[in-house]
Amino acid sequence: MNMKEKKKKARIVITISLIIGFFALFTATLIKIQVVDGALYLAKINSVSEKAVVIKAARGEILDRNGNPLVTNRQGNSIVFESAYFPPASSIELRVEIIDALIKLFEANSVPWIDNLPLVLEPGGGIAFAPDRDSDITRMKSKDMLNLNDYATAQNCFDELVKRYKLEKYALPEAMKIASVCYEMKRLIFNTSNPYTFALDVPGELVAKVKENSTFYKGVDVIIEPYREYTDGTLAPHILGMVGAISAEEYAKLKSEGYDLNDEIGKNGIESAMEKELRGVDGVKTVITDSEGNATTEITTPPIQGNTVILTLDVNLQRVAQDALKQVLTTMDTPVPSAGAVIVINCNTGEILASASYPTYDISTYSENYNELSKAKGAPLWNRALLSTYEAGSTMKPAVAIAGLEEGLITKSSTFYCSGTYNYLDVTFKCEQRHVNRNVGVVNAIKESCNTFFYDLGRRLQITKMNQYRTMLGLGQKTGVELNEAAGNLASPEYRASINQPWRDGYTIQSAVGQANNLFTPIQLANYCAAIANGGTLYQPHFVRSVRTYDYSGTVLNKEAVIKWETGFSKNTLDIVKEGMLLVGTEGYCRTAFAKLPVTAAAKTGTSQVIRDINGTSRKVNNGELISYAPGDKPEIAIALVAEGFLGGTRAAPMAAMIYDYYFSNTGKAESPQMENILLG
């Protein structure tokens, strides 16, 4: 056989092989379609639509440093409308009939349902816009919603709702309620892949009534969802924060990250700061509707719970701090509502062990009591520990002493004669201490809080130099903590100029004793005290200790101590200042409060004045401040507290004593073995 015939024969063989291979592949595919996947393809042939529906994931839990749960999840019932079963928009009368009956059922059982319509019915029967809902009202009038002019009245909006949803036969109150649900269904883009939630956390008895009438309540379903639950709603509410429905503004920013209009999101506190970690990964279920309108669902991707956030807070110490704050504040007769804050921080890591603000509230009943809380005296919703700023009074004297010692203007043996007054620029400033007409050194000036000593030192340092050292101690600036905080203010000519006020020379010596618009937050004061106690290291305070996966199988984050900077202050300088502060705790103004403690504690008290409105009259009121650390010889924790309306920090010292007594008398401050294992992985 010649070469030409061989090539021809080879081509024939290849061609026959390809044909056989093609038919084999075709046969195999046909068998797979008709036999193996026959049911699946039959369902697809018979189906009218196939939609993916999101299954909301549970948020991660929040624990204290010892593994004690602070915020967890529980299962509850939500009433939802499933588009695959619910009457379509073309059958609006049937939709409205179901909605009206459902509203009446819920109200008859005193169970709330979701009513977010930015319209309210006035006592006289008129329609008005809901207060503080400007963005929602603008959205309602927009082209995508009611398509009304910007100047449309509340009545115009309501009339359009009545017309659009055919509510003419319903009485005004009923029409308003039905319109609220119909409007929300449109706003939240109700469709097969996006169910509408009518009510949250519905009692089982009411769920049973809905299920019993499932034939009438077509498309009204009950789903089990996770709900946030607080172990103790009164414990650290200002720190934990809460979740709520995503707003239009939040959605606009976060929709690219997978958020939906009907999602919940952390609104404040740790819930907001750690939103990305706490938010789980949503699952997916597939809804297939056949040609006869029958729908079936299948979970295709299960949801994954959010990560577990472990805080630096000690639940027991937090409770002690809150109780101490309330007990001392409410037993003092003050001209203003009892209010204050306390921060407890680890001197050597920046971990915040307790943070309390008073008055406070129960976060588990926040929604029910919001109107009352928002108007209550003392602003219980306000986090004074991080957001309120106070003139620090004499708690500033250690910082000024550090500046004087570091600049070489004074030494430990330097003295200044205190006559009880200090004359400067034809103005006489008083030293309101008991020990006058004698020479005072820096240690005793701190111990006895001698104003004249610090007036003179402030004059010699001048404001720029004092502020340089206060800045190094973290004052008048945000600490970098995870939560929202105020920056405070350092008194200076530049600041006065920014508010169109002149800087007067007398402000310099007033600033040396913590007046003249030096405004600091309690957390700044605590961190400043900790830096003195630990030898000059300024840490970044933090509430988050670590983040683990929901099942603790993986570590997402281990928060290490973050040093903002080393102040570089000499050991000699800090030893002198700490000697004076220790004498405050052992022999000075805090000696009585600290007398029975298991350790020695150092401190510096302070008193500042503020103008407050009392029954319509402006009056000067004192605030009491205290910074403290313990043990005096080897500091572990530092405390800062502010008591509004107190005559001075001395009267607030018992709060610090209660905290120290618990911390140093109980082994509860140590890590539990379980949590140690978790943290070590």
* CA distances (Å), origin 476, targets 239, 263, 392, 492, 522: 22, 38, 11, 11, 11
Over the stretch 13-72, which tens digit does the pLDDT of each residue have? 566 666 666 666 666 665 655 555 555 555 555 556 677 777 889 999 999 999 999 999
Evaluate whether residue 681 is within a structural domain. Answer: no
Evaluate whether residue 568 is within a structural domain. Answer: no
- How far apart, in whole angstroms, are the C-alpha atoms of residue 675 and residue 331? 38
Looking up residue 122, the CATH number of its domain turns out to be 3.90.1310.10
- Given this model, what pLDDT does residue 680 score? 41
Mean pLDDT across 306-323: 97
Over the stretch 243-260, which tens digit does the pLDDT of each residue have? 998 888 898 899 899 888
- Given this model, what pLDDT does residue 465 score? 97
Q: Amino acid identity of 578?
A: K
Name, in order, each residue with C-beta under 8 angstroms of 276's C-beta and a sequence gap of 6 or more. Answer: none
- Given this model, what pLDDT does residue 84 score? 83
Number of domain units in the chain: 1
Residue 674 has pLDDT above 70, yes or no: no
Residue 212 has pLDDT above 90, yes or no: yes
- Of 605, 606, 680, 600, the closest CA to residue 636 belongs to 600
Residue 658 has pLDDT above 70, yes or no: yes
What are the strands, taking DSSP E only, across 21-93?
47-55, 62-63, 69-81
Evaluate whether residue 625 is within a structural domain. Answer: no
Evaluate whether residue 468 is within a structural domain. Answer: no
Please list the residues that pair with 245 across neighbouring strands: 264
Over the stretch 435-447, which tens digit does the pLDDT of each residue have? 667 899 999 999 9
Evaluate whether residue 71 is within a structural domain. Answer: yes
- Given this model, what pLDDT does residue 245 score? 87
Evaluate whether residue 93 is within a structural domain. Answer: yes
- Given this model, what pLDDT does residue 673 score? 42
Q: What is the pTM (predicted TM-score) of this model?
A: 0.85
Mean pLDDT across 406-429: 89
Residue 276 has pLDDT above 80, yes or no: yes
Evaluate whether residue 160 is within a structural domain. Answer: yes
State the average pLDDT for the chain: 89
Over the stretch 277-294, which tens digit does the pLDDT of each residue have? 999 998 888 877 676 666
- Given this model, what pLDDT does residue 605 score? 95
Q: Which residue has the higher pLDDT, 423 or 663?
A: 663
Name, in order, each residue with C-beta under 8 angstroms of 379's C-beta and a sequence gap of 6 or more. Answer: 339, 359
Q: What are phi and psi of 517, to 5 degrees?
A: 70, 25
Name, in order, each residue with C-beta under 8 angstroms of 108's C-beta and a sequence gap of 6 or more. Answer: none
- Domain residues for 59? 51-311
- Given this model, what pLDDT does residue 678 score? 44
Over the stretch 153-182, which tens digit does the pLDDT of each residue have? 999 999 999 999 999 999 999 999 999 999
Over the stretch 600-615, which tens digit does the pLDDT of each residue have? 999 999 998 888 877 7
* 508, 509, 515, 517 alpha-carbon torsion, rounded to 10°: -10
Evaluate whether residue 605 is within a structural domain. Answer: no
pLDDT band at 679 (very low <50, low <70, confident <90, very high): very low
- Given this model, what pLDDT does residue 353 score? 98
- Of 548, 545, 565, 564, the closest CA to residue 556 belongs to 548
